[in-house]
Amino acid sequence: MTASTTTRLGAFARALGTDIDFRAPDYDLLRQRSDDIVPFGKHVGTVITAVTADEAIVEIGGERSGQNHMGTVHAGAIYTAADIAGAAAFVGAAATRLARVERLVLRSATATYRKPATGVLTTIASVDKRELAPILAATGDGRHELTAKAWVHNADGVVVAKFGFDYVVDLIDIDAQAGA
């Protein structure tokens, strides 16, 4: 659903771009737009490399700005990569309904850092499909909760950190908004 087919999109959808057809999502375009809208991610060196209906992948590492005083990837930079991966996983999983998303807000998170991380790290995140189902089926305004999980791997495939994210997803009824 583009701006030409409705007079209003949710704020989250507008941030991704009013030219996107959310009825037939282009996942690579969603990846590019998602990668562009978080300036802090660029500061610490994150790159979203994939967004699909099942997961999102974010890479980080090698940038001096993302390291700590010991030469390992800073815990805050790892957290940022995982947070961005969780949000991008939502973008992919809810792609066909993004026009209705007013906001996606992080409510709480858990982090477990298993070992010092060096080099390029790959974060793979996905959302809980059971919690996603009511979001995809919703027809009116509403608030929903959604959980995402993210696993951070080093170049050897070893998990160096894992995260859980609890989001709030606010939806708007764009059909009612368009007719208002």
The CATH class of 11-179 is: alpha beta
Condensed to tens digits (0 to 9), the pLDDT of residues 103-118 reads 999 999 999 999 999 9
Quote the CA–CA distance of 114 and 117 in Å, as a whole number. Answer: 9
pTM strictly above 0.85? yes
Average pLDDT in the 147-158 region?
96
Which letter does DSSP use for residue 25 in this model? -
What pLDDT does 44 receive? Answer: 85
Bridge partner residues of 137 (DSSP): none
What is the CB neighbour count within 10 angstroms for residue 176?
12
Condensed to tens digits (0 to 9), the pLDDT of residues 30-59 reads 999 999 998 888 888 899 999 999 999 999
Min mean pLDDT across 47-51, 125-129, 130-134, 173-177 is at 173-177
The domains of the chain are located at 11-179
Answer whether residue 7 shows pLDDT above 60. no
Min mean pLDDT across 13-27, 44-58, 92-106 is at 13-27
How, if at all, do strands 47-51 and 121-127 pair?
Answer: unpaired
pLDDT bin (cut points 50, 70, 90) of residue 6 is very low
Per-residue buried b or exposed e for 70-103, using 16+ beta carbons within 10 Å of the residue's own CB: eebbbeebbbbbbbbbbbbbbbbbbbebbbbbbe
